[in-house]
Structures are given as structure tokens and as C-alpha cells.
Amino acid sequence: MRILRFVVRRLLQLIPVLLGVVVVTFLLVRVLPGDPIRTILGPNATAADEAAARARFGLDKPLWQQFLDYLGGLFTGDLGTSIQSGQSVTGELALRLGPTMELVVLAVAIAVVIATVVGLWSARHANRAGDHSIRVLALIGNSMPEFWLGLVLILVGYAGLGWFPAPSGRVDPDTDLTPITGADALDALLTGNMPALTSALWHLVLPVLTLVVAIVAPLLRSVRASALEVLRSEPYAAAAAHGLPGKLLRRGYLVRAALVRLPSLAALVFGFAIGSTVLIEYVYSWQGFGQWALRGLLYRDFPVVQASVLVVALCYVVVFLIADVVHAMLDPRVRI
């Protein structure tokens, strides 16, 4: 199958990129000022203690040796041991990725749906009051720092109205949710734990909303512009001139053609969202990947930083790959 060949070829292309990311991160964390070992030793540690700790994490070996060890570990799925927690980074990562992905995937999905529906509407009512207000509103949302918006939403939604649960945790602990993937709503669904599902979804509302507001504007703009372009294009005019009914026009001649540019942009936005969850996670006490990576960086927890960068890069390239495949499915002109 062509698409399979394309995917395989693209996956092969990813290897140098990921390898590059691995090398750059590896060197970068070591170039940064700061020492991961000093932070884990008590106040009475001596130079010998320090050396012992350094040796425990293999940081006494020459750089190339450390790199080879790291690379070797990567192939066996071993991302090393966190200097701060002593836990396997792979394990911690598995725990942290779920919550963040839950947030980002949900937010991007919702934003894409909103952008599609509202964008198409906006294009069909272009340059009327409704269209103008939607666009300006989206821009305003896009112009707010997420952490600020998050705080306002908490003040209103939690402290003021009391509609939403406290910004602490992701699910009510009394619901006894059995973690599987780390994405609580998904786990609740998988285990059929209805109270947990409700609780998890309820916890998700505000953070997801914050993220959606922050990312919807560019998506909306793109859909609207593409739709407008289609509406004013010859093919659409041709179909309209042949008297095709409005519903058929929209379904057959507008939607798909207007959405061809969305996947790549959505992928870009996804990458951005993963990056910016660190702020949202902080505000909503959402202990996900962003907070973990940030802490890793602040404490120069080498394996954690390396793993988190690698994972974000991996997500990023995979999402782009998916976007390209979806794009190819939407747009028959794309050669893959």
C-alpha cells in the first residue's frame, strides 16, 4: 500500500531527526551551568561523597562513554535513572505522559472541532458582524497568557461559582480509580468506573478550556481562510452554477476542500500545546509531563531532561506524520 510505504519512509526519515535531538539534548544539558549531583547530597557531604554519587549515576565516565551508555539504554527502552528520585525514568515518564496527553489531545481535538464548525460558519457569513466578532474574540483569547487565563477561570469557576472541583489533582481520590494509562478519564472509561469518569471529566473542564482558548485562534483563522478561498474558488462556483443544492455543496465541495490545510496546522498547534502545558499544569496542579520536565531541567536531572525532550520530539514528529497522512487522505493532490 502506498500509504504504508509513505509511513515507513517517513519513519526512516525520523531517525536522523530523533538522533539529532538526542545528541543535542545530551550535550545541552551537560553544557548548562549547574550540577545535578550537588542538589542530592546533604549539607555535610564531602568531595568523596560527591564522587561516589557521581559514580553511582555514571557521570564520572568520559562523555562519549556516557553517551554510548545512554544510546544503548535507549534501544532497550531504558531511559536511565532519575538523579532526583532514583526511579526509572521510563516508569516516571509513563506516569506523567498520560495526564498531559489527556489534556493536550482533548484540547486540540476540541479546538479542531470548534475551529472547523465555527470557521466554516464564519466563512459562510464572512464580513458580517458575527464573523467579525468571532474572529476578534478568538484573537483576544489567543492574546492572553495561559497562566493568567487559568487563574481567572479558577477564580470564577471554582472560587466564585463553585461549579468546578478544586484545582488540585485530576480525579476525586475517593472514586478509587485504578490507573492504567495515566489519563484518568480514559482509565475510568476502561475500568467502567462511572463516578471516576464524571470526576475526571469535571476536573478536565477548566484546564482544557484554558488550552482551547489559547490555541483555537490560529486553527479558526486557517479554516475560515481556506473555506473562504473554497467558497470563492472556481470549483465551488462551478458546482454552484450547476445548481447543486446547498447541503450537497457544503458537504461535497466545501468541507473537505476547506480542511486540507488543517492537519499540518493542528500538528503544529499540538506541538505548541505540549510545550505550553507546563504553565497550565502549574496553575491547575496538574502533575503532568510539563511540570516533571521543568523540575528535571531546574535540577539538571540529566536523564529526565533527555527523556522529556526526546518524548516531546517523538510526539511532535509522530503527530506531524499523522497530520501528513490525514492531509494526504483529505487532499488527493498530495503525492505520498
Partner 1 sequence: MTVMRIGRRRRGAPAGPAADRDGRFGTVLVATGAGILAVVALAVLFAPLLSSWGPNEIDPDGSTLAAPGGAHLFGTDVNGMDVWSRLLYAGRVDLGIAVAAVAAAVVLGSILGVVAGYFGGWLDDALMRLTDIFQAFPTFILALAVAALLGSGPVNLAVAIALVNAPAYARLVRAEVRTVRDLTFVDAARTSGASTIGLLWRHVLPNSITPVRVIAPLNCGWAMLTLAGLSFLGLGIPVPDAEWGAMISLGTGDVVAGRWWTSVPPGIALLVCVLGFSLLGEGLQERADRVRR
Partner 2 sequence: SGSKDSTSSSASGGAKSSTLKIAVSSYISSWDQDFVGFDLTALMLYKNVFPYMIDYGVKTVGGSRILDTETIMPTFAESFEPDAAQKVWTLKLRKGVKFASGNEMKAADVKWSKDRAFAAQANVAGIYRTIGLTKPEQVVVVDDYTVEFHQEFPSALTRQIQAISLYVFDSVEAKKHATDADPWAKEWFAKNPPTGGYFNVTKATQGQEIELTANDGYPGPEPAKTKTIRISVVPAAANQRLQLQAGDIDIALGASPRDIKDLKSAAGVEVLSSASNKQVAIQMSTTTAPFDDVNVRKALAYATPYEQIIRNVYGGDARPAKSVVPLDMPGYSEKGYPYTYDIDKAKAALAAAGKTSISSELVFETDNEEQQQLAVLVQSEARKAGIELKLTPLDPATLADRRGKKNIPLQITSGQLWVNDVEYMLATSFVKGANLNYANYSNPRIEQIYQQSHSTVDPAARNQLWAQVQDIMAEDVPWVVICQPNFNLPVRKSVSGWVQPMDGLARLRFVSASA
Partner 3 sequence: MSLLSIEDLSVVIGGRVAALSNVSFTVDTGEVVGLVGESGGGKSMVGRAVVGMLPTGSVATGRVDFDGVDVLSMSAERLAQHRGHGAALCFQNPRGALSPTRTAGRQLVDRLTTHQRMDDERADETALELFEAVGIRSARRRLGAYPHELSGGMAQRVMISLATGCAPRLLIADEPTTGLDVTLTTEILRQFRHAADNDGRGVLLVSHDINAIADVCDRIVVLYAGTVAETGPARRVLTAPAHPYTRALLRSVPDLGGRPVVVTPGAMPLLREAPDACPFAPRCAHAEDDCRASRPALTTQGRSWTAACFHPLRDGVDARQEADVTLRVTTRRPGKAPAAGPVLVVDDAHVVYKSRFGRGGHHALRGVSLTVDAGERVGVVGESGCGKSTLARLIVGLAKPTGGTVKAARSALVFQDPIGSLSPRRTIEDAIGEPLRALGVPAAERARRAAAVLDRMKLDRSILGRRPHELSGGQAQRVGIARALVAEPDLIVFDEPTSALDVTVQAQILAVIDEVAADRSHGSVFISHDLATVRGFADRVVVLYLGRIVEEGPVGEVFADPRHPYTRALLSRGVTLVRDLEEADATSGCALAARCPFATDRCRAEDQQLQQYGESRAACWRVPEIGESV
**Residues at the contact surface with partner 3, assessed by CB under 8 A:** 234-245, 248, 252-253, 256-257, 260, 330-333
With CB under 5 to 8 Å by kind, the binding choice for 270 among partner 2, partner 1, partner 3, none is none
For the bound state, the minimum distance from the C-beta of residue 127 to partner 1, rounded and expressed in Å, comes to: 4
178 lies in the site for partner 2, by CB under 8 A? no
- Distance (Å) of CA 299 to CA 28, 81, 287, 304: 14, 14, 17, 10
Q: How far is the CB of 316 from partner 1 (least distance, A)?
A: 4
80 binds, among partner 2, partner 1, partner 3, none (CB under 5 to 8 A by kind): none
Q: Which does 91 bind (CB under 5 to 8 A by kind): partner 3, partner 2, partner 1, none?
A: partner 2
Does 123 contact partner 1 by CB under 8 A?
yes
> Which amino acid is residue 319, in one-letter code?
V
The alpha-helical segments, DSSP class H, found in 192-300 are 194-231, 234-241, 246-248, 256-259, 262-283, 289-298
Sequence-ordered list of residues with C-beta below 8 angstroms from that of 285, at least 6 positions apart, any chain: 167, 168, 169
169 binds partner 2 (CB under 8 A): yes
Looking at residues 27 to 86 of the shown chain, list those that interact with partner 1 (rule: CB under 8 A): 28-29, 31-34
| Residues within window 125-144 making contact with partner 1, judged by CB under 8 A | 125-127, 132, 135-136, 139-140, 142-144
Show contacts of 295-300: CB within 8 Å, 24+ apart: 295/84, 296/82, 296/84, 299/36, 299/39, 299/83, 299/84, 300/29, 300/32, 300/34, 300/35, 300/36, 300/39, 300/83
What is the distance between the alpha carbons of residues 291 and 309, in angstroms, rounded to a whole number?
13
212 or 217: CB nearest partner 1 = 217
Whose Cβ is closer to partner 3: residue 238's or residue 298's?
238
The phi and psi torsions of 22 (rounded to 5 degrees) equal -60, -45
Nearer to partner 2, 224 or 300 (CB): 300
Residue 3 near partner 1 by CB under 8 A: no
Supply the DSSP string of 250-274, one letter for each residue.
Answer: IIIIIIHHHHTTHHHHHHHHHHHHH
Which of partner 1, partner 3, partner 2, none does 238 bind, CB closer than 5 to 8 A by kind?
A: partner 3
Nearest to 107 by CA among 202, 187, 210: 210
> Is residue 282 involved in binding partner 2 (CB under 8 A)?
yes
**Closest C-alpha to 109, from 7, 28, 35, 219:** 219
35 binds, among partner 3, partner 1, partner 2, none (CB under 5 to 8 A by kind): partner 2
**Of the residues 274, 323, 328, 330, which one makes contact with partner 1 according to CB under 8 A:** 274
Helix axes 146-153, 262-283, angle to 10 degrees: 60
CB atoms within 10 A of CB 286: 26
Binding mask 83-122 for partner 2 (x = CB under 8 A): xxxxxx--xx--xx--------------------------
Bridge-partner residues for 81, per DSSP? 88
Residues that bind partner 1 (CB under 8 A): 16-18, 20-21, 24-25, 28-29, 31-34, 123-127, 132, 135-136, 139-140, 142-148, 151, 155, 159, 217, 221, 225, 228-229, 231-232, 237, 240, 271-272, 274-276, 278-279, 282, 290, 293-294, 297, 305, 308-309, 312-313, 316-317
